[in-house]
Amino acid sequence: MVIESTYGDKNHQGRKDRAKSLQKVLEKAVADNGIVIIPAFSIGRTQELLYELEQIVARNKNSKLNELEVIVDSPMAAKFTTYYQYLQHLWGAEAKRHVKQGRQPLNFENLYTVNSHQEHLQTIDYLQKRNKPAIVIAASGMCSGGRVVNYLKAFLKEPTTDILFVGYQAQGILGRDIQKYGPRAGYVFIDGLKIDIKAVTHTISGYSAHADQSNLVNFIKRIRHQPENVIIVHGDEAAKATLAEKIDLLGIKATIGKPATS
């Protein structure tokens, strides 16, 4: 059996805890009058975040959180969000209940979508001149390219900016460098420019599509015919080693896969 180990060394926050963490980031943005930049992949993560943001706003109608602008700057994310809405009949009971109450979890007030590249540039200019807080969700999720890079280039040096990572950041990627050096008041290079990281960085792993350690171990436990060997791939070396220890405790041989070489 081959299994990933992205979060082989940790467990995700529960849904309530991750929502509380997200709300704290939003409250900080409101207090600082700054912006929250969320690098997120276009399919799945973006829609889950929109759903959660709508719930937070709905629970805090009489607070300044209700004034937050939410900007989705990803044509692909916008397109797939439309598909999600088209497939409302497949939504869960909670989401259907919200729709019956007149709420639109993926198309709420203060939600704006950016399409063309020109609109993208205009949005960055608008945010630089703004006098109110905002949230920007843009791809790519690891900051390895896409429109989020331009937002980082423009706002990473602002102390009122919050960068919120909701997914795994691979080694050697811009997102990992910001995640690592941000808390140390370090810097990164973007398009050859050295940019000091004055923004505050946050990480909430509970929104990741990758299973955590508990889920991975339970998946193996529930296999009717237990594998003789589990080969562990896709993760940092520490995460692979930790997961291997957990699998060994099941009485199953765990082998750490070697990175591919060219």
pLDDT in tens, the chain (262 residues): 999 999 999 999 888 899 999 999 999 999 999 999 999 988 888 999 999 999 998 888 888 898 899 999 999 999 999 999 999 999 999 999 999 999 988 988 899 999 999 999 999 999 999 888 999 999 999 999 999 999 999 999 999 999 999 988 988 999 999 999 999 999 999 999 999 999 999 999 888 888 999 999 999 999 999 999 999 998 899 999 999 999 999 999 999 987 665 4
Q: Is residue 229 part of a domain?
A: no
Q: Is residue 215 part of a domain?
A: no
CATH code (residue 74): 3.40.50.10890
Q: Is residue 231 part of a domain?
A: no
Provide the number of structural domains found in the chain.
Answer: 1
Q: Is residue 164 part of a domain?
A: yes
Q: Is residue 2 part of a domain?
A: no
* Domain that residue 167 falls in: 12-207
What DSSP line would sit under 59-127, residue for residue?
HTTTSGGGG-EEEEE-HHHHHHHHHHHHTGGGS-HHHHHHHHTT--TTS-TTEEEE-SHHHHHHHHHHH
Q: Is residue 81 part of a domain?
A: yes
Q: Is residue 235 part of a domain?
A: no
Q: Is residue 22 part of a domain?
A: yes
Question: Could you tell me how far CA 143 lies from the centroid of its own chain?
Answer: 11
